[in-house]
Chain A
């Protein structure tokens, strides 16, 4: 039981990164109602972007972050215009398979460019660690948590305080009314999608220095992301934050207390996903399940 302070700290740090990982997914779904099965690939591309910049020019991933996010946002908006906009009104099966296909293309483009090996970016802070009393904190994770916190706070500020942000929320809550008051739906959709990709890219940049990255990382991130937003409630951004911390605590607890826990911790997300879908498909604070 003496692990408890360490467990809480580890889970909190993980939860912060999970929050950043899913908040883009929740944002783009909330606004466009298209669930992006390629979100994990946005994270993966962000990680490789940071890796490549560090390799070529030696620039620290944290300095490259703003640039990569801007590129990610523009790329996301373009992708939305070209591929997702045409299927907005199509059956779900088309949207699911389309975004799944985009993910597949990006994943294998990465395999071709960077090869399938695992890599990571070595920064001065990546392997540093601090000790507070009995609790150890890995420097890379702490910095990652800090960046995630700033970005999530910025997103909330943007959603609450700016014109665009309010329009985004209006679309999420009252689509028809939003159209009636003159919100340019298509532009807002593209913007929300671009932002969600930018947030995914930022997650990747953080992951590039706290662990190994590979072209196949996106898929695991995607499934974990689903578990989190289903747990929190599909379509709720606050729910996604809650879900992220709950999953982080559950996973950390399993890896601490269950024999062979680190292996089983990977399965927690699937168990959670399945249980929530069966017991309470609307999640903690989500809306009713509509198809």
Chain B
């Protein structure tokens, strides 16, 4: 078992290095794919952090959108750099997360999901109705003189994706992980055990929201244009949940595997069906339905099961039942 987890660590480090190194390779199409994979890894990891604590978010586009606006507005106002505005976006995201966690208090399950859904729609309409701040439906361009090289953005995205997974790993080794899992299973019992659910929830939601915000910020630099429909598009909410579900919910590797798979899938459908409207979203919907009904543990779960079967066949030992515990 130890050898296997060492292998996993080695694979993880290698793919992280590979992702960062790839940005030095001048292949625009591949760079673009990996850029999208990187921001999706951040978004998916962020969603998974909340899901780990029993909080199903249907409003990740809200966090993403806030980060996008924070980045572009602060860049245009103070001629900020990518990293400078990334900090602004992280702070804006964390603040927003704190507010959401404070406001939603003890809401769980359906209620949390509904309030996040309403939050992203509410923000979209507010952005549309406050043109003095956001330029409304006309949209907002990043100042051309500020635009960094594409390579800088690929690199920032890759590093940020690695950092996000790093944060998720740190959390999985910390007390927060156990608190999250206890909260997911039974908040009242968690409280009895001396975990303060409200405080833990605020920390988790703030970290997760800051992470999604940062992804939105990097993407806004890359796109250079924002309007309320672009910033708060439901598409990001869908991507945020579908990648971890497909990859394997409540695991560290799941969101990463899922992000690669989803970008591959969306490119695949684009190549097969051209730009026919609705096809890629429809595929996402089907993936969601099929995964929930037939693959509730996602790709990671399938790989795990196969490995477990091989191991059991080889060693004929049933002592592997704990194999999954360390990861979830």
Contacts and interface: CB of A to CB of B under 8 A. Distances in A.
Tell whether A pairs with B.
Answer: yes
Interface of A: 35, 37, 83, 86-87, 90, 92-94, 96-98, 100-112, 115-116, 215, 219-220, 223, 226-227, 230, 234, 260, 263-264, 266-267, 269-271, 273-274, 277-278, 281, 289, 291
B108 interface: yes
10 contacts: A87-B292, A90-B296, A92-B113, A97-B56, A104-B281, A106-B285, A109-B278, A219-B234, A278-B103, A291-B110
B51 A93 contact: yes
B238 A112 contact: no
B277 A86 contact: no
B7 interface: no
Interface residues of B, number: 44
Chain B CB within 10 Å — which of A90, A101, A273 has the most? A101
Given A101-B285, A102-B285, A263 B125 contact: yes
Contacts of B109: 92-93, 96, 291
Given A219-B234, A220-B121, 10 more contacts: A98-B292, A100-B58, A101-B288, A103-B285, A106-B285, A109-B278, A215-B278, A270-B125, A277-B103, A289-B107
Contacts of B19: none
B288 A96 contact: no
Interface in B111-143: 111, 113-115, 117-119, 121-122, 125-126, 128-129
Task: Identify whether the interface residues of A are mostly helix, strand, loop, or mixed.
Answer: helix
A232 to B, nearest CB: 14
Contact of B117 (A83, A223, A264): A223
Nearest to B104: A277
Contacts of B46: none
A257 to B, nearest CB: 16
A48 to B, nearest CB: 13
Greatest chain B CB density within 10 A among A87, A106, A220, A291 is at A291
B285 A96 contact: no
A277 B111 contact: yes
B122 A274 contact: yes
Contacts of A111: 277-278, 281-282
A86 B281 CA distance: 24
Highest count of chain A CB atoms <10 Å: which of B51, B241, B284, B289: B289
Contacts of B106: 289
Contacts of A273: 114-115, 118
Contact of B279 (A98, A112, A260, A291): A112
B27 interface: no
B105 interface: yes
Top 6 nearest A-B pairs (CB, nearest first) are A101-B288, A104-B285, A111-B278, A270-B122, A108-B282, A105-B285
A101 B109 CA distance: 17
